[in-house]
Amino acid sequence: MSNAAFYCSFNLKKGASVPDFLQAAKALNDGYISKQKGYISWKQLVDGDTWADFLTFETMEDVKKFEADSGNAGELAEKFYSFLNLASCKVNYFTVERNYE
């Protein structure tokens, strides 16, 4: 069975502190996301003002459950999302066809 990925591109709010944002992301990962069923990794990507979260899980079912349950992350998620321009978020789901390492 192929792994699956959750990909979300976004912009930070004007004036958002990148170090504070990355600290909030680490706290969210360590305190909630990394503990979700099927979690493999979370990569944060940036190109100028565009950021992207690339989360990999064991199955597409795990990805969908992660997203459905994401409201359960409480204050950790609230802090993370406080840095995002939510209107800029674009979400995609992918099945990993091949992995080169």
User: Cα dist. 39→15, 49, 97 in Å?
Assistant: 31, 27, 17
Tell me whether residue 9 is in a domain: yes
User: Cα dist. 9→33, 44, 101 in Å?
Assistant: 18, 10, 23
Domain harbouring 88, CATH code: 3.30.70.100
User: Cα dist. 13→66, 88, 89, 92 in Å?
Assistant: 24, 10, 12, 21
- Domains: count for the chain: 1
Tell me whether residue 31 is in a domain: yes
Tell me whether residue 101 is in a domain: no
Tell me whether residue 100 is in a domain: no
How many whole angstroms separate alpha carbon 54 and alpha carbon 51? 10
Q: Which domain range does residue 26 map to? A: 4-95
Q: Is the pLDDT score of 1 beyond 90?
A: no
Residue 95: per-residue pLDDT: 96
Tell me whether residue 20 is in a domain: yes
Q: Is the pLDDT score of 6 beyond 70?
A: yes
> Percent of the chain beyond pLDDT 90?
90
Average pLDDT over residues 20-30: 98
